[in-house]
Structure 1
Amino acid sequence: MKIRKLLILTVALSLIGGTAIFADSVAQKVKVIFNKQELDDAGALVDGKAYLGVRTVGDSMQAITVWDDSAKKVTIYKPNVHIFLMTGSKPFGEVQKGKTSFRVFSQIDNLQTDISAFKVTITDPYGDETWIDGRTSKDDDFPRSKDNFWFTGDNFTYDFKSVGRYTVRFWMKAADNTAMQIVSEKTIIAK
């Protein structure tokens, strides 16, 4: 009786292990490096072809990814978004630790989809994010031209408490999408 149970257990474990090995050989994970950074959502190698998640590719390109469920279609829009930062009348990319007042200027063109909102944030070296400015389609000063517009943020005072890299990001929300997506970023070095 014990031999029979042992034989059944051995066969069961062999089938489970064989299935796992087969599944692993069908779709192998692939490391994907974009601009010297490994992407979190690795690709898969199936039948000699590498497959990547569309959202991962869009996020890496700092593009807007839109899923159309009715057409079963994904569209990636890559607008040109240029950010520059001004303190007083001077552009800057480095600051001393402490409080600094500045404005964010953004020029957007080649926007090929409607958006319902955008925002600008700053993230400190530890990953804490702070909202700087933004607009929604309900605001009177929301840009109505989708292809080309300028945005000048309000004067903003921020405390650069630590030495390190701070990232200013410009986010957009597609009109038929629920999530804000990063479309541009600029780094400030605090010394």
Structure 2
Amino acid sequence: MRFKKVLISALLLSLWGGSMIFADTVSQKIKVSVNGSALSESGIVVDGTTFLPIRQLADSLNAFISWGDNKQVNINKPNIHMMTMSVNSNGVYPFQAVEKGSTVTFYVLVHGDSLSTPISAAKMEIVDPGNTAKELYYESNPENLNIFQLRTKELKYKFASEGEYKVRMYMMPASGSEWTLVSEKLIFSK
């Protein structure tokens, strides 16, 4: 009786090991990077079909993701451009670099199109190199247009540290409760 148990156990273990080796040859993990930044989760290739971590992919593309009722994933990448405009006694000029320690009065111009996801709110913030955020703009229940333009109020801001300052625009889909980063603009302080 003991011999039968050992034989069955050995047979099951060899079948299990063989199926694991077969599964490993059928599927293969791959590293995924978007614009030079690696995603924390790997993708998988099975029989020539690639499966990617959709939530991370949408986040790195600054896109909305929604799950349909019929097992469908929708990704919407709005086309949003931001321009930082410096205001001084000589006029208004676009800028993307400042001297460390300088105080700049500026506003942000935003142009967007291809916004097919209805949104319930929009906000914009500037994040310093120490990861401290200051709100530049907030609007709840904005007019949902496929094409839009907006301008923030003028802000006097001190670029105290050296490094990258990030102007970020977020939107909240009408069907959700989480903010989605849809655009980012860098200001360099040297």
TM > 0.5 fold call: yes
User: Which residue does 1:40 correspond to in 2?
Assistant: 40
In structure 1, what is the Cα distance between the partners aligned to 2:51 and 2:20?
20
Decide whether aligned partners of structure 1 residues 20 and 162 sit closer, same or farther in structure 2, where only a CA change above 3 A counts. farther
User: Which residue does 2:56 correspond to in 1?
Assistant: 56
**5+ residue gaps in structure 2?**
1-9
In structure 2, what is the Cα distance between the partners aligned to 1:66 and 1:159?
38
Give the secondary-structure state (helix, strand or coil) at the position aligned to 1:178. Answer: coil
Decide whether aligned partners of structure 1 residues 129 and 24 sit closer, same or farther in structure 2, where only a CA change above 3 A counts. farther
Give the secondary-structure state (helix, strand or coil) at the position aligned to 2:176. Answer: coil
Q: CA deviation at 1:157?
A: 2.6
TM-score (norm 1): 0.79
Whether the aligned pair in 2 keeps the contact of 1:113 and 1:146 (CA below 8 Å) is no
Q: CA deviation at 1:26?
A: 5.6
Cα-to-partner distance string for 1:69-96 (whole Å, 9 max, x where unaligned): x222211111111100112111110111
Mapping for residues 1-191 of structure 1, pairs under 5 Å:
27-68=27-68, 70-88=69-87, 89-98=92-101, 99-137=103-141, 142=142, 144-191=143-190
Q: CA deviation at 1:135?
A: 0.9
Decide whether aligned partners of structure 1 residues 17 and 107 sit closer, same or farther in structure 2, where only a CA change above 3 A counts. same
Whether the aligned pair in 2 keeps the contact of 1:117 and 1:172 (CA below 8 Å) is yes
TM-score (norm 2): 0.79
Stretches of 4+ moved more than 6 A in 1? 13-23
Give the secondary-structure state (helix, strand or coil) at the position aligned to 1:56. Answer: helix
Q: CA deviation at 1:20?
A: 7.2
Q: CA deviation at 1:117?
A: 0.8
Whether the aligned pair in 2 keeps the contact of 1:66 and 1:174 (CA below 8 Å) is no
Give the secondary-structure state (helix, strand or coil) at the position aligned to 2:131. Answer: coil
Q: State how many pairs are aligned.
A: 183
Give the secondary-structure state (helix, strand or coil) at the position aligned to 1:162. Answer: coil
| Stretch moving more, 77-86 or 22-31 | 22-31
Whether the aligned pair in 2 keeps the contact of 1:43 and 1:52 (CA below 8 Å) is yes
Decide whether aligned partners of structure 1 residues 131 and 14 sit closer, same or farther in structure 2, where only a CA change above 3 A counts. farther
In structure 2, what is the Cα distance between the partners aligned to 1:128 and 1:20?
48
Cα-to-partner distance string for 1:88-147 (whole Å, 9 max, x where unaligned): 11111011122322111101112112111111122222333332212111xxxx3x2421
Decide whether aligned partners of structure 1 residues 84 and 27 sit closer, same or farther in structure 2, where only a CA change above 3 A counts. same
Identical-residue share of aligned pairs (%): 38
**5+ residue gaps in structure 1?**
1-9
| Stretch moving more, 158-167 or 84-93 | 158-167
AA at the equivalent of 2:119: I
How big is the alpha-carbon RMSD for the aligned residues of Structure 1 and Structure 2? 2.9
AA at the equivalent of 2:41: D
Q: CA deviation at 1:19?
A: 8.2
In structure 1, what is the Cα distance between the partners aligned to 2:133 and 2:28?
35
Whether the aligned pair in 2 keeps the contact of 1:83 and 1:184 (CA below 8 Å) is yes
Decide whether aligned partners of structure 1 residues 15 and 135 sit closer, same or farther in structure 2, where only a CA change above 3 A counts. farther
Q: CA deviation at 1:62?
A: 1.6
